[in-house]
Amino acid sequence: MIDTHIHLDEEAYAPDREEVIARQRESGVEAMIVPGVNVASIPGIIDVCHQHPDYCYPALGFHPQDVKADWQEQWTIIEQAIRAHKEEIVAIGEIGFDYYWDTTFKDEQREVFQRQLDLAEELNLPVMIHSREATEDTLNVLKTAHVRGVIHCFNGSKEVAQQYLQMGFYLGIGGVLTFKNCKLSETLEVVPLDRLVLETDGPYLAPTPHRGERNESRLMIHVAERLAQVYNCSVEQIIETTSRNARQLFAIK
């Protein structure tokens, strides 16, 4: 299994980060991608990925929730970091729109999003798209973008899924699929397996039966098992296909 989205640099993993990483290796997790969200996240991401080369892969980006009044200053630092590490990062992300908590900086979110999409195109890097309560705006922006990537933590309708697929995006599937009232399995009826990647969004969104716990990459097995039911295939096929998809999208070993 490959975890295409885990925030290993966050404080939740600080007490036992090395033990966590060792446990994933022992559990058959082949690789983990660590996305950036703001200026503060950059050193931790680069550090953990340097300590575990060819296993932990860095991404850097400016998360929409972190776009505030000082966004220009923050963006300058993040852009410089992306350019400085362009040979080792595997994506720009996570980036996008988030209107769930606050809409004060909607215009600024759009500007930051567009700048990161332009940079991804320039550097030929995939993007990790965060979209919460902002599907229409996300689709409208991506329609004119010339990038590839993944829709992180996808949980939308068949219609929305088809639009993302037509643009060439992969869909990131995590613990939400295992939640009791989740309708995502119905959406997946129109999504080919070769357009999915697995993710955790750890330390968040642990799958059933571990809801409420700190999420780890090894727990994606529960997501793989649910996907095997949805696609009427073996768990091994789910793991093999989603891992191949991740390697292809992010150009990892």
Domain residues for 183?
A: 2-250
**pTM above the 0.95 mark?**
yes
CA dist., res. 2 & res. 30, Å (int): 5
Predicted local confidence at residue 93, as pLDDT: 96
CB atoms within 10 A of CB 235: 15
Q: What is the CATH number of the domain that holds 94?
A: 3.20.20.140
Predicted local confidence at residue 253, as pLDDT: 81
User: Based on the structure, what is the number of domains in the chain?
Assistant: 1
- Per-10-residue mean pLDDT for the chain, 253 residues long? 98 98 98 98 98 98 98 98 98 97 96 98 98 97 97 97 98 97 95 98 98 97 98 98 98 91
Give the closest residue to 178 by CA, choosing from 219, 208, 201, 142.
208
Give the type of residue at 35. P
Share in percent of the chain as helix, strand, coil (round to 5): 50, 15, 35
